[in-house]
Structure 1
Amino acid sequence: MALTVENLKLNFKTMEEFKGFKEYGLEELSMLEELQIIMVEDNSSSPFYGIYYGDKLAARMCLYVKKDGARLLENGSDQYLEIWKLEVLPQYQHKGFGLKLVEFAKSFSLPILTKPRVKSHTFWEKMDFSSLSESSSRLIWNPAATTSQKIS
């Protein structure tokens, strides 16, 4: 079965699917509150992306487009992405779902920031993310650095 990343709809069905993640994950990974806020604000664009396996939401993440990254990233780019709360249900872990979500984010060819959670630092290193700075717990993926590494 091919894994496809989908933009998740802002509706009560998605809210019910998110409750399934709450059973397995940590409270800090819950996206229910964010989803409820966006639904109340009647925001038509969803920052939520996920992968369905059959009719079950197996993996999800928040993917935000941020501006004014030049000061933060020091690379001249004024936009970057931030992956927030990437999570894969336990029965789907180690099957490429997390990789597929990160590859989807990388396809925008913008720098990506994330903050590793719940013992996921090794996963992010495998995805070519590195520390933003020595004093920061956030990680960055820079498409320019990846391209230059592949050319060498």
Structure 2
Amino acid sequence: MAITVENLKMNFKTMDEFKSFKEYGLEELSMLEEFQIYMIEDNASSPFYGIYYGDKLAARMCLYVKKNGADLLEDGSEKYLEIWKLEVLPQYQHKGLGLKLVDFAKSFNLPILTRPKVKSHTFWEKAGFTSLSESSSRLIWDPSAATGQKIS
């Protein structure tokens, strides 16, 4: 079975699928409220991405494109991504779905920031993220560090 990441549609079917995550996940991983806000605003572009395993949404993330990152990022990049939340349902964990979502975000070749939730620090390190600074709880993936080239 080919595993692909897709932009999730802003509809009631997806909202119902998000409710199944809330049953399993911790409150800090819930994306239902964010999804409802985007749906109410009739936002055509969804920041929600997911992986279906068969016909079941098995993994999801909220990926935002941010601007004005020059203050945060050492390389002075203006544009960056932020993985706000990422979750894989328990029965689908340890199948590489979380890393597949992260690899999708990396394909944009922009710096990526995230804030690890619920003891996920090891996962993010495995995905190539490092601390933004010694005093920050945020992690960064820098494409220039991954390729050895500096972003212009």
TM class, shorter-length: over 0.9
* CA RMSD across the alignment: 0.9
Distance (whole Å) between structure 2 residues aligned to residue 32 and residue 121 of structure 1: 23
Map Cα deviations across residues 58-105 of structure 1 (whole Å, 9 max, x no partner): 000000000001111121211000001100000000001001000000
Superposed structure 1 runs of 4+ greater than 3 Å apart: none
Q: CA deviation at 1:148?
A: 1.3
**Secondary structure of 1:10 counterpart:** coil
Q: CA deviation at 1:144?
A: 0.2
Q: What corresponds to 2:71 in structure 1? A: 71
Q: 1:144 and 2:135 equivalent?
A: no
Letter in 2 for 1:60: R
Distance (whole Å) between structure 1 residues aligned to residue 50 and residue 89 of structure 2: 11
Map Cα deviations across residues 33-56 of structure 1 (whole Å, 9 max, x no partner): 101111111110000000000100
Q: What corresponds to 2:21 in structure 1? A: 21
Q: What corresponds to 2:53 in structure 1? A: 53
Q: 1:130 and 2:135 equivalent?
A: no
Quick one: percent identity of the two aligned structures? 83
Distance (whole Å) between structure 2 residues aligned to residue 132 and residue 40 of structure 1: 34
Q: Unaligned 5+ residue runs, structure 1?
A: none
TM (norm. structure 2) is 0.96
**Secondary structure of 1:9 counterpart:** coil
Distance (whole Å) between structure 2 residues aligned to residue 27 and residue 90 of structure 1: 15
Letter in 1 for 2:58: A
- Which shows bigger deviation, 74-83 or 48-57? 74-83
Between Structure 1 and Structure 2, how many residues are aligned? 149
Q: 1:97 and 2:97 equivalent?
A: yes
**Secondary structure of 1:61 counterpart:** strand
Q: 1:35 and 2:35 equivalent?
A: yes
TM (norm. structure 1) is 0.96
Distance (whole Å) between structure 2 residues aligned to residue 21 and residue 143 of structure 1: 30
Distance (whole Å) between structure 1 residues aligned to residue 6 and residue 19 of structure 2: 18
**Secondary structure of 2:46 counterpart:** coil
Distance (whole Å) between structure 1 residues aligned to residue 93 and residue 84 of structure 2: 18
Distance (whole Å) between structure 2 residues aligned to residue 148 and residue 32 of structure 1: 38
Q: What corresponds to 1:119 in structure 2? A: 119
**Secondary structure of 1:37 counterpart:** helix
Q: Unaligned 5+ residue runs, structure 2?
A: none
